[in-house]
Amino acid sequence: MPETPMIKIDHVTRAYGAFKALDDASLTIQKGEFFSLLGPSGCGKTTLLRMIGGFDNPTSGTIYLDGQAMNGIPANRRPTNMVFQSYAIFPHLNVAQNVAYGLKRLRLDAVEEKRRVEEALGQVSMAHLGKRGATELSGGQRQRVALARALVMRPKVLLLDEPLSALDKKLREQMQVELRKLQQAVGITFILVTHDQYEALAMSDRIAVMFSGNIAQVATPKDIYQRPVNRQVADFVGGMNFVAAEIVGEDSGTITVETTSFGRVKTEKPVQFVTKGKAATLGIRPERLRVLWDDATDKYEIAGKVVDRHYFGEITHLIVEVPGMEQPLSVSETNNFGADDIPVGAPIRLAYDPDALVALAD
Amino acid sequence: MNIVRRLLSNWLPVYAVLYVAFLYLPILLLPIFSINQSAVPQFPLTGYTMKWYAGLPNTPELLSSAWNSLIVGLSASIVSTILGICAARAITRYRFRGQRVASGLIMAPLVLPEIIVAVSMLLVLLQLGVGLSLFTVILGHILICIPYSVTVLISGFEGFDRSLEEASADLGESAWGTFRRVTLPMVAPAIISSLLVSFTISLDEFILAFFLSGTEPTLPVYIWGQLRFAAKLPSVLALGTLLLLASFMMLSIAEILRRRAARRAQNEGGVYA
């Protein structure tokens, strides 16, 4: 018998009048998973997280937590804890008092309470700052206190509502690594809400990509990035070149398309692929196109002309016009070989791996 | 242009000094004459004395009216603060139909002519057959204290991040526990400030007290009664000086607390890295 999932979202809808913030969503999250809800603002990811935490209730459908239906159970009686976007650190309490807040209701003896507070502060590298006042903390420290305050409760599920969005870039990247390590150390199921695709890719075991109240795809970061189910997901998660294609062959697992620039391509058929006549879209990531230098050749080549160039430090984006294509191709090339020196207007040849081409449902 | 500017820059400080003198000189005269030997308040001063102050505790009517004022002030400030907490929380937390009208009506007593309010209340109370007593004075004072309470409390509740209360619930605390452990401590300075402000307002208030007090005068009503006797004037001045000091101190404490509450609410909401 398979293990009970930690979270089961069973046909959950949340409607505000005629507007559906979440529309018949179903999802399961396993024990010990680092799971991300990824999508643009207004896609329903925060609504779903708040319903799991008990701050909002489904209009219809049921949320199961470790096999138990959560309908009507308020936030203070759920085995979940939340790290709020604003961190919600109690300003009238110091760091240790903030962390001990939830423990007070458990009526532990003083020694045990102190031990757990210190353990939690240690987990977030704040052990030496217990006496610090809440208003004297930096953004990163506030986030750590919010984490410790939730972890000290030993929840079954930790909910994180855009926890890194208020931090600057450097700190954000550092916290991504730390959060991931922390999750592996404590083994608690983490559910992260974010609109930052790189954050979701870097931290998660699995990701659910959401648009306007619907879950578009649930998969590992690698599959989300390399095998997006449709154009919307492909476009939201990283850059993508879209190439108009015509379907020329199809069987149960694969699809064959014909394009003017990439020729005839046979690829794996995406899960939710629905054919509408003969038209289809082919996608290829900018970094899967390689510049061919000097006399180098490749089995799969495409020729064009550089029309624009964007410098990003470690990489350069080349915008390449290819005869017969409506949209120019975006090429992401590392600057190891001097891609930042290619002049605008120069002719260019690009190599690609046909496996990198994916067929996309519109 | 230059001449105008120079004139202005020379005359503005003079104007400011005159302005402040006009506001405060009459009030300064009060303590000065209250320690003057002569019973007639006029210059030149005739010598220093504390006898007018020494005489105050030996006046039973004065003591009983001070006691009345204390009862009225405490009751009015407590009730108006409790009602003010409800109103301020509703106004800052929720969006509801008629919100602007409601908050406008709450603030209205600030600008209503007090004598009209006093006369109307008197008429209503008499119609209802409620006899005049300290209780009716308390009712009147609650009415005029509420706008001040609400103003002070709104600045305490504003910027109060809702997720603080959610965080408390998330950590297992009940609604009442959350109010006690998070909401109350955070707005405590504003609550104390509201109590002090409304107590001060009630302590100084004359018109409503005059109309509604029946046979138990509050301090201002007592003072007004004493003004008919020229010989009692120095005692009134001494009493007035004490009231002035008390009001000034309470309002200062109230303002300090109000600012502390506002600052606390702001610090907490800050999303900064």
Task: Indicate the number of domains in chain A.
Answer: 2
Of A306, A289, A280, which is closest to residue A360 (Cα–Cα)? A280
Cis amide linkage into residue B113, ω under 30° from 0: no
| A232 lies in some domain | no
d(CA B253, CA B244): 14
Is there a contact between A82 and B269 if contact means CB atoms under 8 Å apart?
Answer: no
- CB-nearest to B167 from A80, A88, A171 is A88
Please give the single-letter amino acid code of residue A72: G
Is there a contact between A76 and B264 if contact means CB atoms under 8 Å apart?
Answer: no
Please give the single-letter amino acid code of residue A271: V
d(CA B236, CA B226): 7
Lookup: tokens for A153: 């409760």
**Least confident among A66-80, B28-42, B114-128, B243-257:** B28-42
Which chain B positions have a beta carbon within 8 Å of A84's beta carbon?
Answer: 163, 166-167
Reduced DSSP (H G I as helix, E B as strand, rest coil) percent helix, strand, coil of chain A, to 5:
30, 35, 35
Question: Do residues A241 and A284 make contact, with C-beta atoms less than 8 angstroms apart?
Answer: yes
Residue B84 has pLDDT above 80, yes or no: yes
pLDDT tens digits for chain A (362 residues)? 567 899 999 999 999 988 999 999 999 999 999 999 999 998 999 999 999 999 999 999 999 999 999 988 999 999 999 999 989 999 889 999 999 999 998 888 899 999 999 999 998 888 888 888 888 898 889 999 999 999 999 999 999 999 998 888 888 888 899 999 999 999 999 999 999 999 999 999 999 999 999 999 999 999 999 888 888 999 999 889 998 888 888 887 788 888 888 888 888 776 666 666 677 888 999 999 999 988 888 888 899 999 999 999 889 999 999 988 888 999 999 888 888 888 999 999 999 988 888 888 76
Which chain B positions have a beta carbon within 8 Å of A120's beta carbon?
Answer: none
Last residue of a domain, one of A181, A201, A226: A226
Whether residues A129 and A263 fall in one domain = no
Over the stretch A87-129, which tens digit does the pLDDT of each residue have?
999 988 999 999 999 999 888 889 999 999 999 999 888 888 8
d(CA A84, CA A152): 15
Whether residues A61 and A203 fall in one domain = yes
Number of H helices, E strands in chain B: 12, 0
Lookup: tokens for A222: 């690698």
Which chain A positions have a beta carbon within 8 Å of B272's beta carbon?
Answer: 139, 166
Residue B14 has pLDDT above 80, yes or no: yes
Residue A103, CB half-sphere, CA atoms under 13 Å: how many?
24
d(CA A351, CA A289): 6
Whether residues A271 and A295 fall in one domain = yes
**B177 reaches A (C-beta below 8 A):** yes
Number of H helices, E strands in chain A: 8, 20
Of A193, A160, A189, which is closest to residue A45 (Cα–Cα)? A193
d(CA B132, CA B213): 6
pLDDT attached to residue A90: 92
Of B66, B95, B79, which is closest to residue B216 (Cα–Cα)? B66
Residues 6 or more apart whose CB falls under 8 angstroms from that of A50 comprise: A56, A161
Backbone torsions φ then ψ of B32, nearest 5 degrees: -65, -50
The mean pLDDT of B244-249, rounded to a whole number, is 86
Tell me, what CATH number does A119's domain have? Answer: 3.40.50.300
Residue B237 has pLDDT above 90, yes or no: no
Which chain B positions have a beta carbon within 8 Å of A74's beta carbon?
Answer: 169
Q: Which of residues 70-129 of B touch A (CB under 8 A)?
A: none
Whether residues A218 and A259 fall in one domain = no
Whether residues A202 and A246 fall in one domain = no
Of A108, B10, B252, A9, which is closest to residue A116 (Cα–Cα)? A108
Whether residues A215 and A260 fall in one domain = no
| A152 lies in some domain | yes
d(CA B150, CA B106): 8
For residue B57, what pLDDT band results from cuts at 50, 70 and 90?
A: confident
**Torsion sign over Cα B117, B123, B125, B131:** positive
Whether residues A247 and A330 fall in one domain = yes
**B180 reaches A (C-beta below 8 A):** no
Is there a contact between B273 and A168 if contact means CB atoms under 8 Å apart?
Answer: yes
Name the residue of chain A whose CA is nearest to B182's CA. A90
Is there a contact between B268 and A89 if contact means CB atoms under 8 Å apart?
Answer: yes
Residue B6 has pLDDT above 80, yes or no: no
Whether residues A137 and A250 fall in one domain = no
Is there a contact between B181 and A89 if contact means CB atoms under 8 Å apart?
Answer: no
Which chain B positions have a beta carbon within 8 Å of A171's beta carbon?
Answer: 273
| A131 lies in some domain | yes
| A233 lies in some domain | no
Question: Do residues B244 and B27 make contact, with C-beta atoms less than 8 angstroms apart?
Answer: yes
Q: How many CB atoms lie within 10 A of CB A210?
A: 27
Whether residues A221 and A245 fall in one domain = no
**Least confident among A232-236, A287-291, B153-157, B258-262:** B258-262
Question: Do residues A230 and A219 make contact, with C-beta atoms less than 8 angstroms apart?
Answer: no
The mean pLDDT of B235-240, rounded to a whole number, is 83
Residues 6 or more apart whose CB falls under 8 angstroms from that of A44 comprise: A14, A21, A22, A23, A25, A210, A212, A213, A214
| Average pLDDT of chain B to the nearest whole number | 85
| A234 lies in some domain | no
Whether residues A192 and A245 fall in one domain = no
What HEC string does A60-71 produce? EEEEEECCEECC
Last residue of a domain, one of A173, A200, A226: A226
As a whole number of Å, the end-to-end CA separation of chain B is 48
d(CA A247, CA A280): 6
**A32 reaches B (C-beta below 8 A):** no
Q: How many CB atoms lie within 10 A of CB A280?
A: 23
Residue A313's domain comprises 239-360
Is there a contact between A105 and B177 if contact means CB atoms under 8 Å apart?
Answer: yes
Whether residues A65 and A129 fall in one domain = yes
Is there a contact between A153 and B171 if contact means CB atoms under 8 Å apart?
Answer: yes
Of B191, B186, B161, B178, which is closest to residue B86 (Cα–Cα)? B191
Q: How far is CA A166 from the centre of its chain?
A: 17
Which chain A positions have a beta carbon within 8 Å of B265's beta carbon?
Answer: 91
Over the stretch A209-243, which tens digit does the pLDDT of each residue have?
999 999 999 999 999 998 888 889 999 998 899 98
Is there a contact between A140 and B273 if contact means CB atoms under 8 Å apart?
Answer: yes
Q: Which CATH class is domain B59-272?
A: mainly alpha
Name the residue of chain A whose CA is nearest to B264's CA. A91
**B158 reaches A (C-beta below 8 A):** no
- Collapsing DSSP states into helix, strand and coil, what is residue A298? coil
Question: Do residues A334 and A315 make contact, with C-beta atoms less than 8 angstroms apart?
Answer: yes
Q: How many CB atoms lie within 10 A of CB B214?
A: 13
Name the residue of chain A whose CA is nearest to B187's CA. A92
d(CA A117, CA A150): 11
Sequential DSSP letters for A302-337 = EEEEEEEEEE-SSEEEEEEE-TT-SSPEEEEEEGGG
**B171 reaches A (C-beta below 8 A):** yes
**A168 reaches B (C-beta below 8 A):** yes
Residue B98 has pLDDT above 80, yes or no: yes
pLDDT attached to residue A2: 67
Place of tokens 């109240």: A213
As a whole number of Å, the end-to-end CA separation of chain A is 38
Which chain A positions have a beta carbon within 8 Å of B171's beta carbon?
Answer: 76, 81, 101-102, 105, 149-150, 153
Last residue of a domain, one of A226, A251, A277: A226
**A273 reaches B (C-beta below 8 A):** no
Q: Which of residues 45-74 of A touch B (CB under 8 A)?
A: 53-55, 74
Is there a contact between B170 and A139 if contact means CB atoms under 8 Å apart?
Answer: no
Q: Which of residues 93-152 of A touch B (CB under 8 A)?
A: 101-102, 105-106, 134-135, 138-140, 149-150
Instruction: Give the DSSP H or E segment for A280.
Output: strand A279-284
Q: How far is CA A175 from the centre of its chain?
A: 15
Instruction: Give the DSSP H or E segment for B55.
Output: helix B51-55
Question: Do residues A228 and A244 make contact, with C-beta atoms less than 8 angstroms apart?
Answer: no
Is there a contact between A149 and B161 if contact means CB atoms under 8 Å apart?
Answer: no
pTM: 0.78
Is there a contact between B166 and A134 if contact means CB atoms under 8 Å apart?
Answer: no
- CB-nearest to A91 from B174, B264, B273 is B264
Is there a contact between B271 and A86 if contact means CB atoms under 8 Å apart?
Answer: yes
Residue B269 has pLDDT above 50, yes or no: no
Residue B268 has pLDDT above 50, yes or no: no
Integer Rg of chain B from CA: 23
Nearest-neighbour CA in chain A from B192: distance (Å): 16
Name the residue of chain B whose CA is nearest to A91's CA. B268
| A259 lies in some domain | yes
Lookup: tokens for A253: 């697992």
**ipTM for the predicted complex:** 0.81
Q: Identify each DSSP E strand in chain B by its residue range.
A: none
pLDDT attached to residue A275: 65
For residue B264, what pLDDT band results from cuts at 50, 70 and 90?
A: low
Name the residue of chain A whose CA is nearest to B176's CA. A76
| A345 lies in some domain | yes
pLDDT attached to residue B257: 79
Whether residues A331 and A189 fall in one domain = no
Tell me, what CATH number does A313's domain have? Answer: 2.40.50.100
